[in-house]
Structure 1
Amino acid sequence: MSRHDALPPALRRWVIHAALPWSARSVLRIWTRALQQGQSEDEALARLDAAERATLRRESFGCA
């Protein structure tokens, strides 16, 4: 839990509302990569949304 507490505030808020149980390491990796590529925080959050949608889509195809 302390790793989640150490996340940047915007990222912590995103994790709280996420549909999946993301690890702090996973979200921080996506977040950091987006920011290093020059994206804004909003764009980094959008990237996380896209990653979550893709994961949910993959999981829904696996459950038939």
Structure 2
Amino acid sequence: MARITRRGNARSSLRRRTCIGDPMKAYDRLPPELRAWLTEAALPWSARSARRAWQRALRETGGDTKAASERLSHIEQANLAKDSPNVWGTRSGR
């Protein structure tokens, strides 16, 4: 069974990484489109992982920022689906 960490309202079984450097400076260097997407994100993304996913999504979509944003939303939804049974438990009615 996955270990669930509890830090304030960030209860999750997803892996945590330590941040190296100033996270605000790293965030400020992100492209404006990515920063706009992050303001609506459900999960707390690090600047490093967000940039890496954004760059991959841009490559996959031929540079289309709207499609890249949709790709990030898909990645986030997959992570939420993977984590929610560990956080909330499974429903007995299924």
TM-score by length of 2: 0.63
Aligned residues: 64
Q: Give the helix-richer structure, 1 or 2.
A: 1
Q: Give the one of 71, 82, 85 matched to 1:47.
A: 71
RMSD across aligned C-alpha pairs, in angstroms? 1.1
Partner of 1:29: 52
Cα displacement string for residues 10-29 of structure 1 (whole angstroms, at most 9, x for unaligned residues): 10011111111100111111
Structure number, greater radius of gyration? 2
Summarize deviations over 1:26-59 as a string: whole Å, max 9, x none: 1111111122231410111011100110111111
2:43 match: 20
1:7 matched to 2:8? The reply is no
Uncovered stretches (5+) of structure 2, i.e. residues with no partner = 1-23, 90-94
- Indicate conservation of the 8 Å contact 2:57/2:72, yes or no: no
Deviates more, 1:28-37 or 1:12-21: 28-37
Percent identical residues: 47
